Amino acid sequence: MSMQQAEQDRIFLERAVELAHQNIKTVSGGPFGAVVVDEGRVLAEGANRVVADCDPTAHAEVVALRKAAALKGSPHLEGCTLYASCEPCPMCLASAYWAHIGRIVFAQSREDAEAMGFSDAELYEQVPLPPGKRSLRCERLELPRARDLITAWKDSEGKRPY
């Protein structure tokens, strides 16, 4: 990694951490901040809005990714870097994959999140379990009409795969 890249990482990650500190003061949600950077410039910033917006998905990373994608006019953010004050939870990590984020840099660990009362570490244990073994009951019920979706999607002429 070049000196310039290391210095940029430090600056953008410090900004994500600062957003987390600010968010504690505004009581909008958890103490988390995130920044999406595109070609060395901040494209979008986010802080946790779970409480303020009554939105369980409004983690800082998701807020920043959604803003960035809206600005880009595309659900994909190829080549962008996501800076997060804390290690992304499985929801935020998977969101970054779906957004085609190129790289993630974070400061606090999932254990730090746990120390602040958040269940990120536990979620990382739950997600890989077989659906029937999780604390959140997940059941499959097969339906013929669901099987038809595969053919219907394949035959759809106007579809825009992503």
| Identified catalytic residue from 39, 61, 87, 111 | 61
143 touches a second copy (CB under 8 A):
yes
CB of 81 to a second copy, least distance (A): 9
SS3 category, 76? coil
# of chain residues touching a second copy (CB under 8 A): 92
Cα separation of 82 and 45, whole Å? 10
Contact with a second copy (CB under 8 A) among 21, 40, 78, 133: 21
Cβ(33)–Cβ(23) below 8 Å = yes
61 is a catalytic site residue? yes
3 touches a second copy (CB under 8 A):
no
Cα separation of 108 and 27, whole Å? 20
154 touches a second copy (CB under 8 A):
yes
SS3 category, 146? helix
Longest C-alpha distance within the chain, in Å? 57
- The gap from C-alpha 157 to its chain's centroid, in whole angstroms, comes to 31
Task: Indicate if the alpha-carbon torsion angle 119, 91, 14, 110 is positive or negative.
Answer: positive
Contact with a second copy (CB under 8 A) among 36, 117, 121, 132: 117
78 touches a second copy (CB under 8 A):
no
Residue type, 78: E
Site string for a second copy, 95-114 (x = CB under 8 A): xxxxxxxxxxxxxxx--x--
131 touches a second copy (CB under 8 A):
yes
Q: Closer CB to a second copy, residue 37 or residue 96?
A: 96
Contact with a second copy (CB under 8 A) among 10, 40, 78, 79: 10
Q: Read off the DSSP letter of residue 99.
A: T
Active site members:
61
